[in-house]
Each structure stands twice: as structure tokens, then as C-alpha cells.
A and B are shown apart, each in its own frame.
Chain A
């Protein structure tokens, strides 16, 4: 263990001495120290007068000396821990105070030459020093206490807490404090009246024709969407597992499509189908002589679009759970003379409770955070996500209002999260015991089966129509008016000059940037998400509940708020990331991490814990256990996490709008720009290409990750 500490200390010292401490014009990752000016290293900068860097170097040296000077292991660990923490604290403090644009802490108290001179953002040297100090601290912590800690586990917890702290809490605080800000200070007396205003929580719509508060609108929509997607998802899951429905494969594709659809596209398609001049509307109006109405604008349209968009998520959660209900429990029920309906009602359904709760929660949160659909279809039905967006970018920018609304939104999410916990309680829903369970799931009784079909098939038909329309729309001149066939949109977006091989299409740049960034972000997201899931499922530690909620936080905050808060936090030293692709990667990793966490938790709960314990009692440490036992057995969960984070990175829009730059423009931002200009054909052609790209990527991932298992199966057959 002392060797681990020494290793990290050595890395820290080397970084301090030979790597450029600050960011240079060539970027954070500039490693060309040897050829360039050596004066940029932490050591030389200190000597050259940047005395505030010295304490970090001293902390590293002191910790190094401690390893040899103190013999008692626990005492040594405690002293090292204190030294490393002091070093980290000082790094953060000097980074936040010595900033050219003015100190970011105690700005009114601190002034002086040093501060106004400022310094650049932290670079490779500073980053690695911080990482080294962090791991020195966590490894020491694992040795200093009662020995509960495994160095790997404590270090992972430390790293994730640090990352979530820096990339979720630190930026989000910047915007949330605005809610409490009054001239030159903070106050609760200003906050409460604004927070509890009837604009947010008003219930007027229940008693008259005035509208309700935005939070109430959002809440109502989210509850309806949560319930609706859960019911639809359950119907699909039941059709998949409990019936002999023929076109299961087609259904499967339909349930994937909405997940990989860029925002706005579903809303647009709905307008073209069900708008006042929509195809379906005109058809029905002609048929029955009805007035063409604008019903699709407002609550019903948004609800409709959200059902289309989020049902697949509920389905993905529920299919695992529905499959997981042990057939023997259903068989037991049937042998007790329960009929199929009673078996379903009293045995299967209650056992699916965690799945239903999770599906509802996800639908609820997705609905609250949804921005594209309410923007396109919401009309007068105001919800929090769009109100927050316009409080930031609208004609009257009001960051305090945005912050207050964001807090209202967080309140709703937090309440839903807590309610879900209470409802599930501490009952056990384990149905997978690790023992093979032969036997057959009860099939559905006829009435229930009909009901499932009646719920699910219209949805499937509608999805099919919507996607046919999208393909159709990308090949016609002017969707809705001029339906002559054309390749123009594709050529404009993805044209290639065959003679020179040059890519002349306008979309190529953002297309490649999007793919690159998503491909980098996806494995990182999966890594962070699954590590977090591992900690939550398999390890016990102090503050676990708070830790779990904090990892959900970034999912529950609207993208707009995240985007602006990222600029506020990371446009200035000590961590200056705006305009880079790193900031895009980071925002994707930490926004999509909760999905990896949830998926990982589900998958890991299915692995019998005795497998880890067997590994540990055989002398493996936690890291070896994860690498040799858990990871190889988590193939499907890794696949799901990778796929989902990849897709989310490609389709997310609201957080990205503020963070894209000329060098790093993203596809969705590009598409939204075209939609704003009314160039629907191009936008839809681009969306269609993205959808196909994502489908291909999903298949490729399945092939890559799935392959190992296949080979395994082959081997089984050969040796039998």
C-alpha cells in the first residue's frame, strides 16, 4: 500500500517539476515542455515568482518524506492524508482567488497586485498534481481508519465524488445562487415570495379559465407522461414476453427508433400529421365534415409527443423486470387455483413493482426535462423547461427567475425520487436467485392480451407512420406543399465532389465532430456510470444515499441551466474549458451518467453477490474482482450503457447550444439552426442520416460486445 502512495506521489512530483502547470495557448494537453520553455513548469513558475504554487509542491514533498519518516502505519496514513488534503485545498483556493477577471471567492475582501495579475487556467501539470494528491489522500484514508476500506474502493469513491463535485455541483451552484442574490448579497426574504408565487404553483386552472402555474403544468404533464409511458411500456413488455405475437422483431425496432431520434423531429412530424393543416387532420375533416382544429397545440400535443418519445425508455426498463418474474412463482399461484388474471393481478404485477416505479420515475423526469416537444407544440401550455430557457435567452433575460424555476424543477424531481423510495420500501422483490429456473411464464388471459394489443399497437402504427413521414419528408422538395421527389436536401447536407473527393456538404463538419465527441464520451460515461453503480450496489459507505442522489442531479437539471452554468464555471481559470471539445465531452459524461448508473444497478443486482465474495475470500482485491469477475459478466449492461450514452450525446440539444463553438459544432445545434430558418427538408434529411448512423452504431456495438459471449457459447457446444 505504501508503494501505491509512493507511486502517486512520484507522479505528482514529476508533474510538478516537468509539466507545464498552466494551460497554454495550445491547450491544456500541451506536453511539449522539453522543446518549449521550461519556465512553464510548476517548479520554475514558483521560483520565478508565482510563490502561490509552492505549497502544492511542498505538500507532495512532505507526503513523500512522511512515507519514510513515520513508522507506525496508521499514524503515517493519517499524517499523509492531512498533508494531501491540505495540498488539494490550497490548490483549489489559489486557483479560485488568483484569477485575472477577479477572484471568484471573497471578491470584496481580496485585492492586490498578485490577484489582478492573475494566472491562466490549470494545465496538464496542475491536473496530474491534483489527481496524484487525490489518490494519495484516498489510499491513505483507506489505511487510516478501521481498515474497512479497500484502497481501490475508496479511491474510486474519492474520484467520483471529486468529479461530480467539480462537474455537477460547482457549475450548478453558479446559477442556483442567483435565486438568492440581491444587490451585493444573498437573501431568503427575496427568494421565498418569488419561489411560492402563483406564476409557479398557482392552481387557477382548476377553478376557472385562467392558467395554472408553470410548475403545476409541468407536474401534471409529467405525471400523465410517467403513467402513460409506463402503461404503454408494460403493454409492450407483456406482448414480448407473454404472447406469441408474430411481428415482435418489427416492434423491437419501433421501440428503439424514438430513442435515436433528434429532438424536434417528432414534434414536426406530429404537426404535419395532426396540425390544423396536417394530413390526418384534413383526411378526417373531409371524411366527417369536421372543422379542422388546433388541438395538437398545447397540452395534448406535447403529451402525445412525449408518449411517442419516452415509451421506449419505459419499455426497456420493464422488459427486464417482466422477464425477471420467476415462472415458478406464477406456477405456484396457478397451482393454488388462481386463474390467469388473478395470477397476474396478485403475483406478477406486485413483483414488477420496482420496474413500474423506475419506469414511472424515468418517464416523469424525462417529461420534466423535455425541451424540444413543449417548444414546438406547447403553444400556450407553459412548462418549466421552456420557461427556464426563455428566462435565460428570452427578450428579458432574468437569470434569477431561471434559477428559481430550476429550483422548482429540482423540487419536483427530488420529491418524485423520495416518493418512489417510500413506495418501494424495504420489501424484497428479488426473483432471480442464481439457480436456474425452468418452467414457463404464465401466458396472458385473453382479455388482458386484447387490452395490451389495443394499447400498444396503435402506438406502434403511429410510430411507423411518423418515421415513414420523416423518410418521405427528406426526399421531397417542400414537405407539406411540393411533394416532387428530390435528392437536393441530401446533396446539400452530405454532398461529395466526386472529382476531387472533397466533402462539399454543409453538414459534414458537425457530423464528424458529433461522431467523434460521442464516441469519446460514450465509453467514459459507461465507465463513470458503471463504477458508480458498483459502489452503490456492492459497497457500503458513509453518505451513500446522498451520493446516489447527487449522481441523479445532473439528469434532473434542465440542459439550458447546465449549459449556461458550464460557461459560468468553466470560462475562467482555474478550469478553463469553454470553446474546447473537452467541455462537450464532460457535459455529456455527467449528464448521461445517471443512465449508466441506473442500468448498472439493475444489471449488478442480478449478479449473485456470492460471486464477488468468492473472489474476495480467494484473496482477490476489489479491483481484481471487478476486472476478472464483474466486468466479464456485465456484457449486456455495458452494451446498454455504451449505446445509450452514445445516442444521448448525439441527440441532446439544450445543454449543447451554449457550449458549441465554431471548431466543435454539434449536429443537433446545426439542425435546430436550420429549423429556425425554416429549412425543414435539410433538417429532416440530416436527422434521417443521424438515425441511420445510430442504428448502425448500435448494431456494431452489439457485435463487438456480444461477440465474446458468442465464442463462449461455441466452446460450450464443442466440448459437450
Chain B
């Protein structure tokens, strides 16, 4: 009995808890390298603050801050698509940072307005189409230019896209279609594309990875993810659809009840600065920065040349719209689930 006691005491001593005054607990939902670079840069500027960073996907982060509500262990949440940030704001899981948004582009300020300053846009990434040049050349399939091309039977079994029930990326696509074509027409078009879809994946980034490796011919996803893959050497070509396209806004939020609010605020201000945002391409992050003065990398999808729709985050970010659209998607597009 004593032995058991001793061992458990030994185990306990191996652990530490709690946050010191000069710590900042950060969850990063962007690419790992970008996270590392940001933390290093921040710590170089603010040597008094020790940043404790862990990378988790937006879904995981949202689930965690929900479960921790009331006694959060996270101070600030940086990166990742905006919808979960907006949901967190809507549920009161985050708090306004009070950061100055005057230098930011319209879509980033828009996000702060919708969320009462709780979530602020840090980058934008447009939705697009990618295709594997080798596969399409092998099969003599003409590359797609528009969303409508994807309905063509020449792509049968070649398109991969995520399931909007599990993937935020796919939901953005669904909302984009609704805003482009109207709700009824969007469902018809998505169902027609569905005839060519070989698989609805769970994760939003999976289709482009599959296209990069030739597991599928064509994918729908965020263009900056595609750029990253192409930069690694995969034969991936990226298309901005002719009808126009929607986009996501990556955000930063401070968690409600954060133990180190001051440090979190310093982080938010840091993350919105032009010089900081300009460094993203160094680590292969080709999203469009939200600060109007930040430099845009040449590889980045030029938002100016892309026909962007005026994405209505307030409407399509709300739970009510989301549930209605997903119910319609399930009924009219659905997942045929070939066995």
C-alpha cells in the first residue's frame, strides 16, 4: 500500500500546472511553421513574455474552449478559419480585444464588427479549384475554368470535395454557391457536381492533398493550401472560378476569462501589424494579409484578380442558417456513399 502511495507521489511531482504572470498560452490553428515563426518573432520583441504555443485545428480548439468555459487555460487563439471564431464569439467564449482595426482591409474590419470586436480578421483565403495536371493530361480532360464546368460528365469520378457537415471549408463552398446562385439553384448545381464526386471527405484539406498525389483529378478547397502543395513540387494547378468565389477570413480571438489578458492583447496587436503579416510568405503561408499596408507575396492568389463575392459572414455564420443549409444539403445533394 505504501508503495502505491510513493509511486503516485512520484508521478505527481513530475507535473506542474498553472500559468505564471508573464506567460501567454496560445493555441495556433494555422500551419505549424507559421505558428513557430510568429512565436519566435513575438518573443524576440517581448522577452518578458513566455509564449506557450500548441497547434490544434479549429474544430478541436472550439471543442476545447467550450469544455473549458468558465475556467479557460487558453489565453489567445490565433489563426484558423473564421467561422469557429465567430461561433465562439456568438457563444460568449471570447472577449473583445480592443485592438485598433483602422489599418485593416474591409473584410477584416467587417468580421470585427459582426463579432463586436471579439474576432478580428488576420488573413483571407479564397476558395478555388485545383487539378492535377498529369492526371488531366493523361486522360485528355480539359481543365475546368468555372464552377459550372465541374457539372460536366467529363469529370465523372474525378472530383473530390469535403463534406460540409464535418468540414468548415466545405461549408464555405456551400455558402458561396448559395450566395452566387441563390439557394435553390445552388442545390441543383451542387447535386449535379455531386454526380462527378468520387468522395466527400471528412476533412477540408484532404481533397487538395489527394489531388496533389493524383488520388483524384480535381479538388475544391482553399487556394492558399493548394499553393503550399504546389510549392512543395506536386503537379497542381490552381483555378479561380470564373463565376466568382467566396473566401474565408482567418481570425484571432482572446478567450473570455483569459488569465493573461494583457499579454493576449499584446499578441493581437502584434498579429495585426503590417510588418508581421508581411513575413508570412517566408514560411510558405500564402494567404492574403488583412493589414492594408502589408506586402503580398507574388505566389499568393491575387485577390484583386479574383472575382470575390461580397461574402455575408453575419448571415452564413449564424447557426440558424447553417443548420437549414446543411439539412437541405443532406436531403438534396447528400452523400451517396458508394459501397
Contact = CB atoms under 8 A, between A and B. Distances in A.
Scoring A23, A101, A272, A578 by chain B CB atoms within 10 A of each residue's CB, the highest score goes to A578
B89 interface: no
B165 A520 contact: no
Given A205-B339, A294-B215, A524-B7, A394 B16 contact: no
A392 B63 CA distance: 6
A635 interface: no
Interface of A: 23-29, 100-102, 124, 127, 131, 135, 152, 155, 159, 205, 209-211, 271-272, 275-277, 294, 297-299, 375, 378-382, 386, 390, 392-397, 477-478, 480-482, 506, 516, 520, 523-524, 527, 564, 567-568, 571-572, 576-582, 585, 623, 657-658, 660-663, 665, 673-674, 676-679
Given A395-B165, A571-B73, A674 B63 contact: no
B68 A380 contact: no
Contacts, number: 214
Given A276-B215, A395-B164, A662 B59 contact: no
Contacts of B19: 25
A523 B209 CA distance: 40
A168 to B, nearest CB: 17
Q: How large is the interface on B (under 10, 10 to 19, 20 to 34, 35 or more residues)?
A: 35 or more
B214 interface: yes
A457 B83 CA distance: 50
Contact of A394 (B25, B66, B165): B165
A678 B214 contact: no
Contacts of A277: 135, 213-215
B70 A662 contact: no
A382 B31 contact: no
Contacts of A679: 32
Contact of B60 (A382, A393, A568, A662): A393
B225 to A, nearest CB: 8
A434 B12 CA distance: 41
A585 B73 CA distance: 18
B14 A27 contact: no
Given A277-B214, A390-B202, A299 B165 contact: no
23 contacts: A23-B17, A25-B19, A29-B12, A275-B213, A276-B215, A297-B198, A375-B203, A379-B199, A380-B199, A392-B63, A394-B166, A395-B165, A395-B170, A478-B233, A520-B14, A524-B7, A568-B67, A571-B73, A579-B18, A580-B15, A658-B67, A673-B55, A678-B212
Contact of B337 (A381, A579, A580, A665): A381
B209 A678 contact: yes
A673 B32 contact: yes
Interface in B111-126: none
Contact of B11 (A379, A524, A572, A673): A524
B261 interface: no
B105 interface: no
A657 B60 contact: yes
A27 B18 contact: yes
A571 B339 contact: no
Contacts of B166: 390, 394-395
Nearest to B201: A379
Given A676-B57, A678-B209, A478 B67 contact: no
Interface string B253-285: 000000000000000000000000000000000
B71 A393 contact: no
Given A29-B15, A585-B15, 12 more contacts: A23-B18, A27-B17, A205-B339, A299-B339, A393-B63, A395-B170, A568-B67, A579-B73, A585-B11, A658-B60, A661-B52, A662-B51
B5 A381 contact: no
Contact of A516 (B14, B26, B83): B14
Contact of A297 (B14, B25, B199): B199
Scoring B25, B54, B63, B335 by chain A CB atoms within 10 A of each residue's CB, the highest score goes to B63
A115 B125 CA distance: 47
Contacts of A127: 12
